Amino acid sequence: MATLVRAPEGAHAVSDVQHKKHTIALLFGGRSSEHGISCVTAAGILRAIDRERFDVVLVGITKRGAMVLMHEDDLADYRLDGPSLPEVRDNGTRVIWPASVDTRSLTLISSDGTLSSLGHVDAVMPTLHGPYGEDGTVQGMLDLIDMPYVGSGVLGSSLCMDKHLVKVVLASMGIPVAPWRTITRGEVDRDPAIVSTLDEGLTYPLFVKPARAGSSVGVSRVTEASEIPAALEIAFAEDRTVLIESGITGREVEIAVLEGREGEPTRTSSVLGEIVVTGREFYDFEAKYLGAGGVELVLPAKVTEEEFAAIRDAAVRAFEGTQARTLSRIDFFLTENGPVLNEINTFPGFTPASMYPMLWDASGLGYTDLITELIELALEKRPSY
């Protein structure tokens, strides 16, 4: 298996060939419960993107799914430390995508109903997290009109978004995953007694998770059977399918993966990051994004060469085997018996303080150059499937 451990260095971090200035549509917000995180991610990218190489069109998606034209001033206060998470507001505009593969021009319907062209767009960067964005839905729309975009395609996005199905695939590849059971809302409604059997064959503490949600939204840690019904209700609020998963004893470590240029091997960061939970039950939404205490991020993580190699190889196999594209952050538990894969994030948190860009920065690829690399990967001519 071909892998490249070190990040590109210096001038090789971006293409050596000088191209014309490209226009990128930055797509953010969305209908999922991770709407606010997506907004903060977009603001971070907007501040850092190379303006000598890229023009940016800002397309926000409201919580009701309306696509509206945004301006830089709208994103100026998008941050995690405000009184509330940011939100794309409906300003009355509508952004209309191309009607066929014959054009890549976006159309604007202004709030007064007048139409105008937003011009040609070379690629889209969907900074969307969770359902209706990271799950293949937006990717399918973009594939339909032959619009290049950053990130995985329909199959890779939808597969990695579904925690049950991706575990099935990873286990079939021989990549260790935590033992789990899956239950649907319909199964519980038809037979409520089934809840009392859900911990059979599993090891406490258990983690009850929505199958298709991210950022630890809807996740509960339970230490006894009596806590399972309430945890199910929290998870069912996010998805009709829920996983009950054995807790794994081990260090929580993460690695950044980057697709190789055409004909080149998949790349990984040259270091790992570690999540050290000290004063919380687990690395939850509040700890990830809202500055709650009890968690320390260690970068680089102290691991042996053998441990790093095992995680790197499993990450590359998982990235390629699930047909992920462009980028992923892959999370593991490092146990006495080796790495156990926890999750594949096809568009991980991407603020300057997020683990994915920090891993690349520690590997020699800075935030602005990383953004450029992702866009240039999207601009490469490649099939959708």
Assess if residue 165 is contained within a domain: yes
Q: Which residues pair with residue 119 across a beta bridge?
A: 106
Q: Are residues 241 and 264 in the same domain?
A: no
Quote the domain boundaries for residue 63.
Answer: 3-151
Closest CA to 128 of 152, 101, 97: 152
Contact 272/300 with Cβ under 8 angstroms?
yes
Give the CA angle between residues 150, 154, 155 to the nearest 5°: 120
Whole-Å CA distances, 96 to 14, 59, 93, 104, 280? 31, 10, 10, 11, 45
Distance CA 104, CA 178 (A): 44
Assess if residue 385 is contained within a domain: no
Query: Which of 246, 268, 292 lies at the terminal end of a domain, its last residue?
Result: 246
Assess if residue 196 is contained within a domain: yes
Helix (H, G, I), strand (E, B) or coil at 126: strand
Assess if residue 56 is contained within a domain: yes
Alpha helices in the chain, H assignment, sequence order: 35-48, 72-75, 137-144, 154-161, 163-172, 185-190, 228-236, 285-289, 305-321, 355-362, 367-379
Assess if residue 321 is contained within a domain: yes
Q: Are residues 239 and 212 in the same domain?
A: yes
The predicted pLDDT at position 77 comes to: 87
Give me the amino acid identity at 114.
T
Assess if residue 142 is contained within a domain: yes
Cβ-based burial of 165 (10 A; exposed 0-12, middle 13-18, buried ≥19): middle
Q: What is the CATH classification number for the domain harbouring 334?
A: 3.30.470.20
Query: Which of 218, 246, 274 lies at the terminal end of a domain, its last residue?
Result: 246
Give me the amino acid identity at 346.
T
Tallying the residues shown for the chain, one arrives at 385
The number of helix segments (H) and strand segments (E) in the chain equals: 11, 18
Q: What is the CATH classification number for the domain harbouring 118?
A: 3.40.50.20
Q: Are residues 294 and 336 in the same domain?
A: yes
Closest CA to 70 of 119, 118, 133: 118
Give me the amino acid identity at 182.
T
**What does the block give as tokens for 49?**
């993107």
Q: Are residues 189 and 314 in the same domain?
A: no
Assess if residue 272 is contained within a domain: yes
- What secondary structure does DSSP assign to 237-249, as a single string? TT-SEEEEEE---
Distance CA 4, CA 288 (A): 29
The predicted pLDDT at position 296 comes to: 85
Assess if residue 384 is contained within a domain: no
What's the total number of domains in the chain?
A: 3
* Peptide bond just before 176 cis, omega within 30 deg: no
- 155-161: Cβ within 8 A, 24+ apart: 155/323, 155/385, 156/322, 156/323, 156/324, 156/325, 156/346, 157/346, 159/322, 159/323, 160/322, 160/324, 160/328, 160/344, 160/345, 160/346, 161/131, 161/134, 161/135, 161/136, 161/212, 161/214, 161/346
Whole-Å CA distances, 28 to 43, 77, 78, 146? 9, 15, 12, 20
Distance CA 235, CA 30 (A): 20
Q: Are residues 200 and 141 in the same domain?
A: no
**What does the block give as tokens for 335?**
């146990």
Kindly report, residue by residue over 304-360, the tens digit of the pLDDT: 999 999 999 999 999 999 999 999 999 999 999 999 999 999 999 898 888 999 999
The whole-number mean pLDDT for each consecutive block of 10 residues of the chain, a chain of 385 residues, reads: 36 46 97 91 95 98 97 90 88 96 96 96 95 93 96 96 97 98 96 95 95 81 95 93 96 97 92 84 53 76 97 98 97 96 94 91 97 96 60
Q: Are residues 164 and 259 in the same domain?
A: yes
Q: Are residues 305 and 360 in the same domain?
A: yes
Q: Are residues 80 and 135 in the same domain?
A: yes
Q: Are residues 143 and 198 in the same domain?
A: no
Q: What is the CATH classification number for the domain harbouring 222?
A: 3.30.1490.20
Q: Are residues 252 and 242 in the same domain?
A: no
Q: Are residues 199 and 145 in the same domain?
A: no
Q: Are residues 255 and 239 in the same domain?
A: no
Helix (H, G, I), strand (E, B) or coil at 277: strand
